[in-house]
Chain A
Amino acid sequence: MNPQTQTRAKVEHNGPLAILRFEGDVTSASKDAVLGTYQKLPPETKEILLDFSKVQYLNSSGIALVIQLLMEANKSGQKVQTFGLTPHFQKVFTLLGLTKYTSLHPTESAAKAAFG
């Protein structure tokens, strides 16, 4: 069994844009870091950028948290762009059909540009 690193989340606000930068492994223990951080965003947040560039591993429970975030954002009419995922998890996100709710980008600038 590999040791898990605790998930940390930093939030940066820029007008209607909020950048959620995750760090560490995203697992079932990451509920506060993922959903908790999202749910604390101010209501005026319309665009959300998910930064996974410092995340090496997401297990199925961690992905479930990301899916919940995407679903809630979709219901709230917020746009979500994602960048920094490793090629492995880009493929996993694609197989899971999550690209219906968020586009996957290689860089932060590409992800920001996708908001238009």
Chain B
Amino acid sequence: MLSTPVWFIPALLLLSTPAAGQAGAAARNEILVRPHIQDWRCRTGDDPRWAQSDFDDHDWAPCSSSSLAPLGISWARVHVRLPETPVPVNWSVGTLMPPASVLYANGKEIASWGRLGAKPQYVIPRYGVVSSPAFQHPGSGDVVFAIRMQHSALSRVVTGFVPDLDLELGSESLLQQRQEFHTLTQSADSMRHVVDALLALLLGAYVLRLWSAERSRWEYFWFVVVALFFNLRAAVHVIPIIVPMHVNLSSALETGFAPEVLLPPFFWTLFHRRVPKTVAIYTASIFTVRLLGLLWVPDVYVLPWIWLATIPCMVLPLVVIFQELRRGNREARVLALPMLFYGVIIIWVNLSVAADAAVISGGSAILRSFIRYPQWELGPVSLGGIEIGQTIFLITTAVVLADRARRTNVEQARLAGEFAAAQQLQKLLVPPPSMIVGQYQIESAYIPSEQVGGDFFQLIPNEDDGSLLMIVGDVSGKGLKAAMMVSLIVGAMQRIRREGGRPVSVLSSLNEVLSGRTEGGFVTCCCARFDADGTLTIANAGHLAPYRNGTEIATPPGLPLGVDADAQWTEMFVELEPGDRLLWISDGVIEARNGKRDLLGFERAQELAGRSTTEIVRAAQQFGQEDDITVVSITRQPVAVYVA
């Protein structure tokens, strides 16, 4: 096996261009013998005698740079005449061998790569040095090198169209420099993938942070997955530089980790659209086929179809973008041109790779001559159109997502301000926590589970007859919707305040207001009238029954408000003694739930009923508040008795 040093790739990437230049300069200062492709002679078939130096290969055909490596086992031979040198040279061999091959020098095996035979292993080629191989120096004569190689249709994709017969001789130190040069060039070539991957890593991490804050934004999720695929694909390019990697696995992973495949779900969710079933099935299918297709059928004829089938992955997002553009979508305006460029590049690349693969698998070369892979050489770095397109895609979409996150933050800040204002307003609608009205002392506590709540509590004293009307209630649901309903109820109470009335008429009036407006919800409400003579009149519309001195009062059951426009309620009467304490709680108390999902329940509420409002609220909160909590206690103060 060839020996290859393990390089620290990131360092190489940073130093690649100048270091490569130095290695090249060093190479020029020493003797390097490198047979040209025309010097090689090729033959399909297999015969161990073909390794021997004395084998007559004059009738073998010259290897052609335009010919395909033949499938199965074939041989290539070259006669190398070592030049006379003033100083004796201890010749070494540097070679980039085909994926499955054995190298012979004068009939002796000096190196192998991959494995030939019934179960061949094709390994991504990597330059290696055979130090002072044990071939017999024939003085001024030739050294005959023979390569026995095996190719599959897929391994030819990796080696390209020219059989990879890259072999050179020189001193060991020179070839070590050549090896370094090769590795650096390979690393520099991988750098284009790494640059995109690093960009994807940074932007993906940023968008991942956005997604962790807003899990419902699936466009963030899909961007993160796309960015992850950029990194996985880059890893597939970098790994073979460090460790041997099988051709089949490399090809399957490179084909499978195609970020383009994930563009349909990304763009659909980006524009808040539900991904159609057909698109979801197509995306999942093409992803599976690309990832596993080459593992199942590791042959090149699969490739054209895979690449052609992937083209809709770019066409579909473009359709979505231009539909949004026609609707006047601002983000679509930003994305249209960059994505059009990216889309054209991706389609171009897919067509060119499909054409290449078609040629390799025996198809016509006409299509390939029209559609070349978009790539330009900048020194040791190949800059492909796909890399430019990917960079544009990553930056443009990340900018759109960042702007979206910024606008969401602004909107959330505005909503938070409005919620805070609503919270302040709701506080104004709740009577103060402690007050005395006539002969009644009132204590109350109101703790919404969110910023605003759906519980309500109102006191309406009547100065004419000294009575006090109280309503306490709960709108089903919670949050802003429930709070808006509370505003409606409190507004209605202002009209009822002017009308005065008995508890049943108050409930009927409120029911009239709420009927048809609760959108499937309901409002529980208990209305109590405290007369100056100590008579308490209660009508209950589904609210929790009050407690008198810690004992529950059995109020007549009644439908909640907003359910039935014709609902009727009955009143019950209680004579209050001085010192009697009435307590109302909302379901936020009895339905507080602890970590074991147990409810606080009626029995515990009964035990708490004798405590102060503050203690009851604290107990419910400690148990596990899930809903708005309201606790109201009204105590008939003892009448002062004057003794003469």
Q: A67 within 8 Å of B by Cβ?
A: yes
**Which B residues are CB-close (under 8 A) to A64?**
476-477, 520-522
Residue of A nearest to B597 (CB): A2
**Which B residues are CB-close (under 8 A) to A99?**
557
Residue of B nearest to A35 (CB): B520
The answer to whether A96 touches B557 (Cβ under 8 A) is yes
The answer to whether B624 touches A97 (Cβ under 8 A) is no
Instruction: State which residues 1-53 of A face B: CB under 8 Å.
Output: 1-2, 28
Residue of B nearest to A100 (CB): B559
Q: B182 within 8 Å of A by Cβ?
A: no
Q: B558 within 8 Å of A by Cβ?
A: yes
Residue of B nearest to A68 (CB): B520
Instruction: State which residues 564-614 of B face A: CB under 8 Å.
Output: 564, 587, 590-591, 593, 595, 597, 599, 601-602
Residue of A nearest to B555 (CB): A95
Residue from B520, B542, B563 within 8 A of A95 (CB atoms): B542
* Nearest CB of chain B from residue A82's CB, rounded to whole Å: 15
Please report the total number of A residues contacting B with Cβ < 8 Å.
Answer: 24
The answer to whether A96 touches B602 (Cβ under 8 A) is no
**Which B residues are CB-close (under 8 A) to A107?**
none
Residue from A57, A68, A96 within 8 A of B559 (CB atoms): A96
Between A and B, how many residue pairs show CB distances below 8 Å?
65
Interface of A is mostly: helix
Residue of A nearest to B564 (CB): A71
Q: A78 within 8 Å of B by Cβ?
A: no
The answer to whether B476 touches A63 (Cβ under 8 A) is yes
| Per-residue A-contact encoding for B621-644, CB less than 8 Å = 1, 0 else | 000101100000000000000000
Residue of B nearest to A58 (CB): B591
* Nearest CB of chain A from residue B480's CB, rounded to whole Å: 14
Residue from A1, A67, A88, A96 within 8 A of B601 (CB atoms): A88
The answer to whether B476 touches A88 (Cβ under 8 A) is no
Residue of B nearest to A31 (CB): B520
Residue of B nearest to A3 (CB): B597
Q: A56 within 8 Å of B by Cβ?
A: yes
* Nearest CB of chain B from residue A62's CB, rounded to whole Å: 9
Counting chain B CB atoms within 10 Å of each CB, which of A56, A60, A64, A97 scores highest? A60
* Nearest CB of chain B from residue A74's CB, rounded to whole Å: 9
The answer to whether B595 touches A95 (Cβ under 8 A) is no
* Nearest CB of chain B from residue A25's CB, rounded to whole Å: 9
Q: Which 6 A-B pairs have the closest CB atoms?
A: A60-B476, A96-B542, A97-B559, A97-B557, A64-B476, A97-B558
Q: A57-B599, A88-B590, A97-B541 are in contact. List 5 more A-B contacts (CB 8 A).
A: A1-B626, A60-B477, A95-B544, A96-B524, A98-B559
13 contacts between A and B (CB under 8 A): A2-B595, A57-B593, A57-B597, A60-B476, A61-B521, A63-B522, A64-B521, A67-B563, A88-B601, A96-B557, A96-B559, A97-B557, A97-B558
